[in-house]
């Protein structure tokens, strides 16, 4: 019994200890104290003693073996989880005792809790992904309607009137129709590039980023100092897409919130990670406040992308002191789901 890793004990019907093994002694008892003859009320905090006494009483009353999970503090006072089996015992003269063995299942409980939390997180994540997908579809639909739908309506009208026209009038209308078709083609091309630049798939991250920066500067007049290293190779598709979307959202945020004329973009290949950094010297903001506000914006989407790839995202900002966003995306796919993710939003 003494070398048993489980604790073993016997108590009388008043809850007085009449036996315990060495493991029990080492785990619960101060070396100088002796628990023999003491009741559970004397050696445990009131709440623990009450819980144990209730279980003991039930076993003695029913005469059946009980399997119970109990929270009992060890010698250091820290509550631990125990899986206990309790059973009735009888001595030669018919006195009844309570016998018990218990093993420490604290680590298992912790692991179960971690698993539950990670499952909940995953569920929340997939809910969010569905919402984002819906939101994107809504915005695609609106853009299609506004940009393409209207031009098509115009074209249809011009063609209708040209059916009745003759001579110079007809050729003028056809020229107008042709101009509308050209405009439509440009719009369609622009929309499809905006939704998903084909060059990201066809040519890779670097050409797509160069194109994005060009377009960004043309539209916002913000110049981008782009430094990169190690981008001549292709990366797996998830990494290229995430990197592209992070830069897109990061630069958009600079244009929307920072109030600056230049931004810096650095993308480089480190050891096993693709690093992306977007920095501006603009307005900045209180990062702490971001946590409490609704987490539906571009930054949380960015954080989710990084999470899914088991990467790391660091956001440093402070009012009046600019913003720096750094993402690290593992280049190789993780072999299992156990790599730790650290997300870290910090003040500056
Ligand atoms: N580069 C930046 N400069 C200043 N403020 C920023 C910057 N990036 C983000 N922010 C702040 O963080 C908030 C959250 O950003 P985001 O999640 O992208 O949502 P949104 O851009 O739709 O407001 C912004 O509303 C803004 O206040
Ligand atoms: Mg944004």
- The per-residue pLDDT for range 210-220, each reduced to its tens digit, is 999 999 999 99
- The per-residue pLDDT for range 220-270, each reduced to its tens digit, is 999 999 999 999 999 999 999 999 999 999 999 999 999 999 999 999 999
pLDDT of residue 348: 61
Any idea which ligand is nearest the CA of 317? Answer: 1
Would the CB of 254 count as within 6 Å of ligand 1? yes
| Number of C-beta neighbours around residue 305 at 10 A | 20
By C-alpha distance, which of 341, 329, 337, 205 is closest to 271?
A: 329
Would the CB of 324 count as within 6 Å of ligand 1? no
- The per-residue pLDDT for range 267-281, each reduced to its tens digit, is 999 999 999 999 999
Specify whether the CB–CB gap between 263 and 225 falls below 8 A: yes
Give 290 Cα–ligand 1 centroid separation in angstroms.
9
Top mutation candidate among 220, 248, 253, 321 for ligand 1, by most atoms within 8 Å of CB: 253
Give 279 Cα–ligand 1 centroid separation in angstroms.
13
Strand ranges, E, within 74-181: 79-90, 96-104
Any idea which ligand is nearest the CA of 304? Answer: 1
DSSP string, 37-92: T-BHHHHS-HHHHHHHHHHHHHHHHH---EEEEEEEE-TTS-EEEEEEEEEEEE-T
Would the CB of 258 count as within 6 Å of ligand 1? yes
The ligand 1 atom at the shortest distance from the C-alpha of residue 254 is: 1
CA pair distance 348, 284, nearest whole angstrom: 9
């Amino acid at each position: 019994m003494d070398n048993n890793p489980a604790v073993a004990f016997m108590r009388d019907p008043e809850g007085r200890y009449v036996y315990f093994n060495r493991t029990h002694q080492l785990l619960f008892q101060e070396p100088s104290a002796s628990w023999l003859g003491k009741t559970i009320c004397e050696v445990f905090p009131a709440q623990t003693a009450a819980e144990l006494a209730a279980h003991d009483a039930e076993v003695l009353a029913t005469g059946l073996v009980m399997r119970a999970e109990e929270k009992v503090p060890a010698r250091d006072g820290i509550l631990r989880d125990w899986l206990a089996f309790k059973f009735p015992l009888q001595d030669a003269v018919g006195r009844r005792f309570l016998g018990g063995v218990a093993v420490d299942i604290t680590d298992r409980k912790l692991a179960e809790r971690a698993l539950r939390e990670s499952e909940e997180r995953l569920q929340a994540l997939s809910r969010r992904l569905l919402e984002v997908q819906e939101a994107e579809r809504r915005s695609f639909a609106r853009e299609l309607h506004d940009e393409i739908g209207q031009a098509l309506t115009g074209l249809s009208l011009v063609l209708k009137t040209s059916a009745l026209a003759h001579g110079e009038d007809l050729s003028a209308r056809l020229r107008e129709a042709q101009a509308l078709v050209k405009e439509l083609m440009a719009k369609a091309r622009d929309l499809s590039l905006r939704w998903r630049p084909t060059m990201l798939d066809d040519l890779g991250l670097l050409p797509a980023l160069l194109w994005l920066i060009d377009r960004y500067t043309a539209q916002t007049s913000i110049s981008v100092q782009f430094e990169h290293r190690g981008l001549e190779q292709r990366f797996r598709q998830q990494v290229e897409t995430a990197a592209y979307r992070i830069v897109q959202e990061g630069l958009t945020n600079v244009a929307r919130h920072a109030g600056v004329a230049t931004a810096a973009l650095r993308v480089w290949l480190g050891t096993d990670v693709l690093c992306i950094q977007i920095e501006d010297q603009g307005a900045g903001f209180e990062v702490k406040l971001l946590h409490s506000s609704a987490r539906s914006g571009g930054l949380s989407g960015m954080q989710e992308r990084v999470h899914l790839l088991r990467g790391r995202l660091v956001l440093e900002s402070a009012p009046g002191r600019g913003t720096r966003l750094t993402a690290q995306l593992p280049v190789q796919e993780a072999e299992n789901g156990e790599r730790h993710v650290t997300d870290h939003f910090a003040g500056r």
